[in-house]
């Protein structure tokens, strides 16, 4: 990704333009400008688990290995009432709205805001080749909604179906392109971006909507995560820090609107950033199914730079996955050093950071949150401060590795 500037002829052919974006992230970050102000000012959105979500005190136990409980007291939550929704605006009946997962409701609102950000009238996209790819894996609403068959709302099947997250957008806005919900775990929204770019470059679509969403309002998702020992005890991400002991959860939705760069230029669109290439791979067999592979990370990033023709030595900043786990942070920084720092010096290190220290790990929407931060960083020419970094992780030798935490 890079800011748009003069390019030699022919270099727009396989490039993708980001022409609009919108978000509903934790705390004060309820739109793009407020999100930027939060990360620019070095603030976070951590809070205790709100009592209107569920009774956290009834589920808390300090031992993460105790069945039927979780050991965290807080995370990063959206402010306001997540049940609030203007159903008539989207031509949805009250009965259907009651059955709808709030993730569907929020996506409709944020997609509308992203298209408004892009300056694209809704009516102009009716029956258009606009594709939708949405990343998510949280299904908190389905569990209480369908627990008692005698009180299950009438539209629960479509209100909670995971495929409907993307389909609801296409239906509401009358998009005719591919519509897919993607669940690849925490990479889901980045895979959504990847697939949207591929759809545009293949000619299958003319506009791509790439989104991610995840909301927290059930203890039934927290309990197995806690028992897997992937969550930090105080619900924060201590990325690259010695205190890293698991990630802190976050919630929200992020959406970007994509076009082929040549089409965006022809339409005189506002171009927020340019995506020169994307790539995707898998860790394969590692010591554990949740553990990353340094070699595969290097391979994937190398493929992107090879495809794009960009100069690795000119990369100044890397927005990391950076969850705040001991193994993940170490592997990711080693991969960054292997690829980016061979020709660097300790006086000219690669700067790294992670938005998860501000808004937590948004899981299915984490990737698009990091991408939006990256776009704003390039656009504003300012690298926001990386939070929760006091004692460097002893397994990461930042000076020798030519890395600097932003």
Q: Is residue 233 part of a domain?
A: yes
Q: Is residue 158 part of a domain?
A: yes
Question: What is the spatial distance between Cα 332 and Cα 20, in angstroms, rounded to a whole number?
Answer: 29
Structural domain that includes position 373: 16-405
Q: Is residue 258 part of a domain?
A: yes
Domain count, the chain: 1
In the structure, what pLDDT confidence band is assigned to residue 306 with cuts at 50, 70 and 90? very high
Residue 10 has pLDDT above 50, yes or no: no
Q: What is the pLDDT of residue 90?
A: 95
Work out the angle at residue 319's Cα, subtended by the Cα atoms of residues 315 and 324, and round it to the nearest 5 degrees.
140
Classify residue 311 as exposed, middle or buried by CB count within 10 Å of its CB (0-12, 13-18, 19+): exposed
* Of 220 and 273, more confident: 273
Q: What is the mean pLDDT of residues 378-394?
A: 96
* 8 Å CB contact between 128 and 206: yes
Residue 196 has pLDDT above 50, yes or no: yes
Q: Is residue 11 part of a domain?
A: no
Q: Is residue 8 part of a domain?
A: no
Q: Is residue 341 part of a domain?
A: yes
The domain that holds 367 is classified in CATH as 3.40.47.10
Q: Enter the pTM of the model.
A: 0.95
Kindly report the number of other CB atoms within 10 A of residue 42's CB atom.
12
In the structure, what pLDDT confidence band is assigned to residue 295 with cuts at 50, 70 and 90? very high
- 202-205's contacts with Cβ under 8 Å and 24+ in sequence apart are 204/129, 204/131, 204/177, 204/178, 205/129, 205/130, 205/131, 205/177, 205/178
Q: Is residue 1 part of a domain?
A: no
Q: List, for residues 54-90, the tens digit of each pLDDT value.
A: 999 999 999 988 999 999 999 999 998 999 999 999 9
Q: Is residue 6 part of a domain?
A: no
Q: List, for residues 115-165, the tens digit of each pLDDT value.
A: 999 999 999 999 999 999 999 999 898 888 878 888 888 888 888 888 999
């Amino acid at each position: 990704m890079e800011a748009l500037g003069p390019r030699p002829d022919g270099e727009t052919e396989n490039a993708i333009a980001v022409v609009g974006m919108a978000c509903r992230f934790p705390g004060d970050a309820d739109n793009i400008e407020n999100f930027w102000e939060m990360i620019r000012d070095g603030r976070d959105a951590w809070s205790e688990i709100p009592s209107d979500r569920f009774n956290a005190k009834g589920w808390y136990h300090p031992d993460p290995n105790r069945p039927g409980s979780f050991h965290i007291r807080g995370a990063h939550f959206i402010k306001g009432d997540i049940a609030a929704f203007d159903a008539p605006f989207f031509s949805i009946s009250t009965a259907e709205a009651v059955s709808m997962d709030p993730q569907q409701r929020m996506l409709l609102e944020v997609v509308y805001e992203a298209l408004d950000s892009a300056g694209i009238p809704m009516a102009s996209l009716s029956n258009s080749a606009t594709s939708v790819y949405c990343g998510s894996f949280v299904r908190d609403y389905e569990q209480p909604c369908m627990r008692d068959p005698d009180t299950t709302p009438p539209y629960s099947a479509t209100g909670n179906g995971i495929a409907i997250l993307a389909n609801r957008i296409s239906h509401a806005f009358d998009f005719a392109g591919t519509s897919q919900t993607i669940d690849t775990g925490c990479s889901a929204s980045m895979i959504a971006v990847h697939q949207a770019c591929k759809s545009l470059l293949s000619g299958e679509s003319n506009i791509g909507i790439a989104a991610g969403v995840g909301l927290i309002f059930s203890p039934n998702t927290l309990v197995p995560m806690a028992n897997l020992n992937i969550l930090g005890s105080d619900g924060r991400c201590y990325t690259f820090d010695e205190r890293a002991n698991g990630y802190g959860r976050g919630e929200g939705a992020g959406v970007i609107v994509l076009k082929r760069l040549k089409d965006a230029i022809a339409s005189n669109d506002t171009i927020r950033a340019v995506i020169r290439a994307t790539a995707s791979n898998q860790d394969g067999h590692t010591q554990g199914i949740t553990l990353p592979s340094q070699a595969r990370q290097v391979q994937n990033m190398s493929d992107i730079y090879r495809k794009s023709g960009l100069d690795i030595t000119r990369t100044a900043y890397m927005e990391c996955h950076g969850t705040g786990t001991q193994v993940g942070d170490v592997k990711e920084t080693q991969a960054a050093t292997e690829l980016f720092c061979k020709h660097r010096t300790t006086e000219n290190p690669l700067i790294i950071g992670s938005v998860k220290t501000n808004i937590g790990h948004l899981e299915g929407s984490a990737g698009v949150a990091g991408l939006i931060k990256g776009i704003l960083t390039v656009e504003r020419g300012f690298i926001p401060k990386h939070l929760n970094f006091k004692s460097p992780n002893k397994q990461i030798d930042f000076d020798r590795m030519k890395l600097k935490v932003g």
